[in-house]
Every structure is written in C-alpha cells, then in structure tokens.
C-alpha cells in the first residue's frame, strides 16, 4: 500500500522558505501569486493489508518521527492506483 504524508509549518508559524520562494516567483514574473508555503512530502510504501492498519501506522509515524507537532501539521493520504492532477515528466 502506498501513502503520502505531507508536513507543513502551522499557519501561525513563520515560513521563511515559503517567503523566499514567493519572492523568487515574483522576481521571475509570476505576479498573480499571493502566498506560498513550503512543506515536506513523504511517499511511503507499506506492507500492510488494510487501510485502517495503514492509517494507524502512518499516524504513529507522524507523531513519533516525521512531524514536530508543536510547529507543524500533517496530512495523511492513502494513494490509489493513479494520482489526481497533472504530472510533469
């Protein structure tokens, strides 16, 4: 089973990396951008049978290792066969 965990700084926490990317985008000419936040993404391959088992494990991983819950929030997504959205090759 494949899952994706996304970790972002909490909305109330300053995100200097996001600010830098925002400024860089403006400099290159992307004016319609009004805000950018930068986070981490983990694609995890799990050898478990059921979705609830996977969710339990992934939740534990976030709390123990992948996210700092004081500063960050996380999202867990179980990935299907094909991911929605456009993919650039």
Residue 38 CA, distance from chain mean position: 9
- Rule CB under 8 A: say whether 71 interacts with a second copy: no
For the CB of residue 3, give the shortest distance to a second copy in the complex, in Å: 9
What does each C-alpha distance from 8 to 2, 15, 69, 72, 76 come to in angstroms?
Answer: 20, 9, 10, 5, 12
73 neighbors 10 (Cβ within 8 angstroms): yes
Residue from the set 12, 16, 28, 82 that interacts with a second copy by CB under 8 A: 28
Q: Which residues bind a second copy (CB under 8 A)?
A: 6, 8, 18, 21, 24-25, 28, 30, 32-48, 55, 57, 59-67, 69, 73-78, 83-89
């Amino acid at each position: 089973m494949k899952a994706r965990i996304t970790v972002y700084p909490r909305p109330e926490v300053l995100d200097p990396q996001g600010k830098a990317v925002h400024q860089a985008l403006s400099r290159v000419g992307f004016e319609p951008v009004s805000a950018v936040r930068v986070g981490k993404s983990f694609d995890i391959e799990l050898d478990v049978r059921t979705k609830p088992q996977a969710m339990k494990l992934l939740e534990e991983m976030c709390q123990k290792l992948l996210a700092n819950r004081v500063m960050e929030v996380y999202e867990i997504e179980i990935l299907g066969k094909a991911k929605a959205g456009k993919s650039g090759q």
